[in-house]
A and B are shown apart, each in its own frame.
Chain A
Amino acid sequence: KQEVTQIPAALSVPEGENLVLNCSFTDSAIYNLQWFRQDPGKGLTSLLLIQSSQREQTSGRLNASLDKSSGRSTLYIAASQPGDSATYLCAVEYNFNKFYFGSGTKLNVKP
């Protein structure tokens, strides 16, 4: 059974801090891994997609890494801002467009 785990469940940091969110998955035979953010009551916003052949992807202050052999991905956020406050979700794709989601990390960046 494919399971996706995100640690920590919640995180509170002061503005400006660099932080790392973790995602682990049980089955390494993945197609893709995608990170999303979700604001309260809203849909999911795509942040980064890492294909199975890639090790990392970067977009602005965000960097996501993928280690299939250990079943881990990390999302690094540099110089965090209050606007980064949201729930961050990791999703792993195993077969035709079927993603398994972690339960998310709720991030609060304090001004």
Chain B
Amino acid sequence: KAGVTQTPRYLIKTRGQQVTLSCSPISGHRSVSWYQQTPGQGLQFLFEYFSETQRNKGNFPGRFSGRQFSNSRSEMNVSTLELGDSALYLCATRWGSNTGELFFGEGSRLTVL
């Protein structure tokens, strides 16, 4: 059974650019969450989608957005990149709501220069 797949794994951008990250969940998982991990702040929740609807959002500026498609694949977008956006972005999926284990992908490592 394939795990959570995130692409790209590594990317380098410059300030002001935008970036789109992709997450393909485990087959049958309808919930997709995104987290940002940095050495200083640890793991912080960005948002969660379930059946194409955003149900929960963390405390991040509007530059961070996401969406989920009918096949449960999800994308997150960061516009007008800042140096502080450099982080490991992790996608986590789950089959249901408040139920079952959360499974993570390997992450997308974003470096902003």
Whether B106 lies near A43 (C-beta < 8 A) is yes
**Does B42 count as interface, using CB distance less than 8 angstroms?**
yes
**Does A46 count as interface, using CB distance less than 8 angstroms?**
yes
Report the minimum CB–CB distance from A92 to chain B (whole Å).
12
Query: DSSP majority for the B interface?
Result: strand
Given A95-B56, A96-B48, A98-B56, CB of A46 within 8 Å of CB of B42: no
| Chain B residue contacts of A103, Cβ below 8 A | 42
Within the assembled complex, what's the spacing in Å between the Cα atoms of A95 and B98?
7
Across the interface, B42 reaches (CB within 8 A) one of A32, A49, A95, A101, namely A101
A95-106 to B contact mask, C-beta < 8 Å, 1/0: 111111111100
- How many chain A residues touch B (CB < 8 A): the figure is 24
Whether A96 lies near B55 (C-beta < 8 A) is yes
Please provide the chain B residues from 62 to 106 with a CB less than 8 Å away from any CB of chain A in the complex. 90, 92, 94, 97-98, 100-106
Say which size band chain B's interface belongs to. 20 to 34
Chain B residue with Cβ nearest A32: B98
Given A97-B31, A97-B97, A101-B42, CB of A43 within 8 Å of CB of B104: yes
Chain A residue with Cβ nearest B41: A103
**Does A81 count as interface, using CB distance less than 8 angstroms?**
no
Whether A49 lies near B50 (C-beta < 8 A) is no
Whether B42 lies near A96 (C-beta < 8 A) is no
Within the assembled complex, what's the spacing in Å between the Cα atoms of A33 and B109?
26
| Chain B residue contacts of A76, Cβ below 8 A | none
Whether B55 lies near A97 (C-beta < 8 A) is yes
Within the assembled complex, what's the spacing in Å between the Cα atoms of A97 and B90?
14
Listed in ascending order, the chain A residues whose CB lies under 8 Å from chain B are: 31-32, 34, 36, 41-46, 49, 89, 91, 93, 95-104
| 28 pairs, CB–CB < 8 Å, chain A vs chain B | A31-B98, A34-B101, A43-B90, A43-B105, A43-B106, A43-B107, A44-B104, A46-B102, A46-B104, A49-B100, A49-B102, A89-B43, A96-B48, A96-B56, A96-B97, A97-B50, A97-B55, A97-B56, A97-B94, A97-B98, A98-B33, A98-B45, A98-B58, A99-B45, A99-B102, A101-B35, A102-B42, A104-B42
